[in-house]
Structure 1
């Protein structure tokens, strides 16, 4: 497996020289400064790649995360010919510069969603957390979304009302800021009125309509990926449940199976994100990995601990509710199968996804979920599991 590291380019407070010291060799990044829907110029891609190589010899840009999909494509709104053409041209420009793996998502409006960016961890440090009561407080009492109450348990609504009554204006501002933080590359943030207005653009779009729009996207771009020898890999919903009344359609094995079948091609693949899928109690993440192993082109490895009310928080990489050793064994078995079949791109790039803020991380003000020490701890733990399971004297399925 190829050890990789998420880097936000010029926006990142962690330097490439520091990343090199973690032992990672792949850089997962994007041209976040380019607005959604516009072409990523080949010269700009080459400059970013060359800058990575020059700043830290031994590092290389191996995964584009994300080449974002314009919201109009997700809504199926208007004439989309130019947007599809721009996406295909960006793909061609990436491929021309040697970047052949593209991670993307099809989550409407928001990407990953958390209510707390610095929730205390038992032995020190902080983590990201999704609190169902706080999310309910936001939807019901701050956003005042019609019908939001139906999405939560009665006891969750009671806890939400208590939190809202006791919260200060600063508490509510912090909650909004946390929810808005899961927009990598989209640096415009909504206030409550702006979010309410943005949600109206999705009125009338349910699960069936979103699936139809997604199928059209795949039909438009997967043939180009095949021609270019690229691997597209969709990222699961985070959390894997409807949010703000918006449908989520990449949340479980049934969803993934539909996506893989919508355009049945190796180029149409999956980013196996153990944390996103692991937040749904019904998801057996190692089993999902084995089921879709031939279509996994990239992996985000992290762990979560879930609560009965639907809340969850980021756990240490080898702790939490997902059996990370079993999951890694599944990925290594797929690598071995590909290698034995003579496939050139048999190795699966992965990155330690998210991490606790520990030690000096609190002083760095990095992107939420992306500290240096916490992710380096995660990478070291994952590396140890991979090394152990790869040892010739170890037998595993």
Structure 2
């Protein structure tokens, strides 16, 4: 247990305790002169509140969410109008329902329409040149077979024919791209869903990849929460879970685990778990908070004490252990005394301490990496 806790906390505490190791090396001289008192702040150890290790808080997210972006640049010409609460038409906005393939907005298309017309004209010219070159080539092929024209004349006709073919292909590609760009002047909803956010206004400039709308499928919602490496192995996809949403008091929401992250978050060291909940009536909104109890999780526990993370240091004689400095009054002096501790779970910016300190101990918080065992300190607010 101790080894596993040490490994789990090693990364989180490495930066906090590195300074303590440097300080310990620099103070290894037996004949050091009297040092001035080091100013420190202290934290009085108190009993941690009772925690339930199988209770989790989750945040609801849409089952599917898409950023709808323009693919061409231009000034926003229009946004789809819908009836407002006062009966008057207004621009589509967050909270409005949309259908798949429904028009959302458009940019001014005059420039792109002109490009389509120009490309179509160029294609028509290329096709006319190709038709003439093909007639000439077919005629010269027959004349060459009859030994009426020279080989050089035939070769010139063939080259002209092949060039005309290439010109037609290029003009067709340009015309198709111009039509695609014209089509991109309009953006449509990719699904039946709800507009979460609108980021454009009529007259604003849109660039390629400018996200104009966030559209989400909220017919199902995902409750996402993080679990430790101890608990993640006890969960399986498809398991039923019951949740309670703060925004819907007194209602029990039923869902199933639909995803368990294969890797831990590098910052929190927890594994994301998703519980999918039906939401056909739209009562659950994005960002709503839910609570749930994981079936089969450990029973409630009470941690002995809780300390701020920056109070934890490495003992100078053991890089694989953890310690704190406790303030003690001896001979009229206030001294820092090193105490090795056994640590539990990290909770926010705090960590539970299972052994090594007692309720009421004054643990050095600010300045913990600057003191050594037996150093005289001065407590400041």
Q: Give the TM-score, by structure 2 length.
A: 0.21
Larger Rg belongs to: 2
Q: Give the TM-score, by structure 1 length.
A: 0.21
The structure where strand makes up a greater share of residues is 2
The structure where helix makes up a greater share of residues is 1
Higher relative contact order (CA 8 A, sep 6+): 2
